[in-house]
Amino acid sequence: MKRKFLEKHNKFIAYLLSIIGIGGACTFGGCEYGTAAEYGTPSATYKVFGKVTSENNTNIRSIRVILQNDTAHTDENGEYNVQTTDFPGEQDFLLEIEDIDGTSNGEFQSLDTIVSFTDPEFVNPDGNWYSGETSKEMDIKLKEKN
Amino acid sequence: MVSKIPIRKKIAFELFRKYRKNAKILHQLNYIFWECTLRCNLNCLHCGSDCKKESSVKDMPVEDFIKAIDDIIDIVEPNKTMIVFTGGEPLLRKDLEHCGLLLHKRGFPWGIVSNGLQLNPKRLQSLLNAGMRAITVSLDGLENSHNWLRNNSSSFKNAIETIHLLSKVPDLKFDVVTCVNGKNFNELSEIKELLLLKGVKEWRLFTIFPIGRAMQHDELQLSPVKFKRFFDFIASERKKGDILLNYGCEGFLGNYEGEVRDNLFFCRAGINVASVLIDGSISACPNLRENFVQGNIYTDSFKETWEKRYTKYRDRNWLKTGECADCDMFRYCDGNGLHLRDEKSGELLFCHYNRIKEGEKACFENN
């Protein structure tokens, strides 16, 4: 509580200083023999999309797909979209596919697979440290549980 | 006059005093140095003013540093916490990229301070691929004065090549640092033109203090008159706006505050800045050693050290002795930069404000 108050107080002081013409007073330009501070990290968005079908090519709905911190469920057409943010460059991500709705829609075996982004091309960068987004289609076939 | 503070600035100083007080209570860590090596490929005349270099000291393993970072990760906001590899010459380490990627995975931006001697396009790309966000390169004069200070006949050529290389990288936070001394003082305008020609957008200037090895070279110091004229130069060049020029963080400058750098003077050592030194010592800026060390990552928790120690950094009333005891400006300067204090006695070794006053007095007498 006290911490929040002090943080807000300091923001207010920085605002007052900017009004009297010393706008950068509270900035931290780096330290002696250090680099200028540059916060944030380079990043890019990696999108994975596709269709989950059974071995006889039937679309499967309600299949859970996990890519790092993003979770999606396939729609009526078995389609899914997930995305994650990571360092721009070649990346391998684990894609976790699991049937979690029991027998209502047929029962399928879980599948863990790797999505590889090799030499990815990024679009819509912000001109700064965000390299943009790249996407990859990944269709999945699930085996029925015996 | 450096001591005549206009009312607008006085109000700013008073507000900033309150800001500083709050920041000390908050002591939000957001800038960490890692002294990753003491090896160096140069033998600069002014080195040793900041650290006691012993090439026999082994580099700290990356894993030991990362372990310390993992210890503090829940008291910082990683993407708002800059980690800076310093030395020695950090580029002599071949595993910087490995460390950089580990930091990136944890969300930390990182940068290096380098003499540029070891940087080539391939290594630069490798560092950028590992998430390097910022780099500072030293250029301490035109060819003769730079090579003299750096004690190396090809140092200038290499530094210029590195600067040229870095200025072409579009998104890199890159600046050039110049340690201003008696030899390069008259070259400042030419250095600026050279930097502009090479595409440099940010330039930081420091002065050298009679500490350590720098004590043995009188020519490294600026006379009081030159010291004052130095700040006049910065103030005047900043108005032109063709390069982002700042004086370093190092001292309170009276009425020059607000004129020669973007921010007001605030020694953030131990308040926002910590360091892990080559032997594991936990300190603030890397040039704060001996009695300024607060713990060691091999025996103490970095997190607990940051949260529970650093008293002498956060309560600076103990600095109000000697020439600071009766100084009206103490309420604004807090005893100047801590690195300008004797590591054992705490005595102030250099006061910017008084040195500028001396320069003003000498100018007045000469006229």
Tell which of A6, A9, A12, A32 to mutate to test the B interface (max B CBs under 10 Å): A32
Question: How distant is the Cα of B78 from the closest Cα of chain A, in angstroms?
Answer: 8
Give B79's contacts (C-beta < 8 A, 6+ positions apart): A39, A40, A41, B107, B108, B109
Q: Which of A3, A16, A32 sits opposite B339 (nearest CB)?
A: A32
**Exposure letters A28-65 (e unless 16+ CB within 10 A, then b):** bbbbbbbbbbbbebbbbbbbbbbbbbbeeeeebebbbb
DSSP letter for B135, please: E
For tokens 């003082």, what's the residue? B185
Contacts A127 to B, Cβ<8 Å: 171
The CA distance from A24 to A29, in Å, is 9
Question: Do residues B272 and B84 lie in contact, with contact meaning Cβ atoms separated by under 8 Å?
Answer: no
State ipTM: 0.83
pLDDT tens string for chain B (367 positions)?
898 999 999 999 999 999 999 999 999 999 999 999 988 777 666 665 344 444 578 899 999 999 999 999 999 989 889 999 998 889 999 999 999 999 998 989 999 988 888 899 999 999 998 989 899 998 999 999 999 888 888 889 999 999 999 999 887 889 999 999 988 999 999 999 999 999 999 999 999 876 666 666 777 889 899 999 999 999 999 999 999 999 998 899 999 999 999 889 999 999 999 999 999 999 998 888 888 999 999 999 999 999 999 999 999 999 999 999 999 999 999 999 998 888 788 889 899 999 999 999 988 876 6
The CA distance from B271 to B253, in Å, is 21
- Residue of chain A whose Cα is closest to the Cα of B205: A32
The CA distance from B39 to B87, in Å, is 7
Contacts A4 to B, Cβ<8 Å: none
Contacts B204 to A, Cβ<8 Å: 29-30, 36
Q: Do A31 and B268 touch (CB under 8 A)?
A: yes
Model pTM score = 0.79
Q: Report how far Cα A93 is from the mean position of its chain's Cα atoms.
A: 11
- With an 8 Å Cβ cutoff, is B47 touching chain A? no
Q: What is the model's pLDDT at position B49? A: 38
For tokens 């990815």, what's the residue? A120
The CA distance from A95 to A93, in Å, is 6
Q: At what angle do helices A2-19 and B7-26 cross, to 10 degrees?
A: 160
Q: How many CB pairs under 8 A join A and B?
A: 147
For tokens 């003499």, what's the residue? B115
In whole angstroms, how far apart are CA B289 and each of B51, B61, B321, B338, B343? 8, 21, 21, 11, 7
Tell which of B259, B262, B267 to mutate to test the A interface (max A CBs under 10 Å): B262
Spans of chain A below 70 pLDDT:
1, 23-25, 28-42, 127-129
* Ramachandran angles phi, psi of B43, nearest 5°: -140, 70
